Amino acid sequence: LEGLEQFEGSLGYDLALKLIKAVGARISNIAPKESLIAALEDSLLVLVFYSDDSKEFLSRQLEEVAALLSEPYDLGSHSGVLNAQCGFFVNENFAFAAETALKNANSAMHQAGVCGTRSLLYTESIKSAIVERQAMEAELRQAIAKNQFFMQYHPIVDLRTGRIDTVEALIRWKHPQDG
């Protein structure tokens, strides 16, 4: 739930708690009866339930949940607005431990934020995208430390007059393996 920390910081803990309870009530109204709703962190909620529905159906439902949670909350003297991002993981045949299922759902939630969507289903491609991104970040840190970046200037020529109109500056990376 994005925005909860700012809400608490500006309006106080009591109103933030009231907002969290309102979020829980909204989830309770739409979640299956045997669901478990838990707060793992201040702004991280978990909804666990059993379903025989398809992944596509669950994905549409989760998008609706994220939209519903993002609607304004009436808190009496104030109103609250949060941005909800949801990640979900389908633990088919209970093949994964709860810790792995939560970790995968959390990865999907973070990837939803990167992709700019409200909800995302965890897939192995998300795992590989996270691993690739971490590897790229490590390579970039090394490139900075080893001074592998350099600047090049490219003129932009006005084709009508043949004159240089402007210049663009590009930062290039002399990658040790990829050139």
Q: Residue type at 154?
A: H
Sort 122 into a burial class: Cβ within 10 Å, 0-12 / 13-18 / 19+: buried
- How many alpha carbons lie under 13 Å from residue 150 in its C-beta half-sphere? 5
pLDDT tens, 116-168? 777 777 777 777 877 888 899 999 999 999 999 999 999 999 999 999 999 99
Amino acid at site 24: G
Residue 143: how many other CB atoms lie within 10 Å: 15
- In angstroms, the Cα distances linking 175 to 75, 147, 170, 171 are 54, 11, 15, 12
Q: What confidence tier does 22 reach under pLDDT thresholds 50, 70, 90?
A: confident
Q: Are strands 119-121 and 44-48 parallel, antiparallel or unpaired?
A: unpaired
The structure's pTM equals 0.54
Banded pLDDT at 171 (limits 50, 70, 90): very high
Q: Which residue, 86, 96, 93, is CA-closest to 61?
A: 86
Structure token pair of residue 20? 């969290």
Residue 108 and residue 117: Cα distance in Å, rounded? 11
* Residue with tokens 């999907």, as numbered in its chain: 108
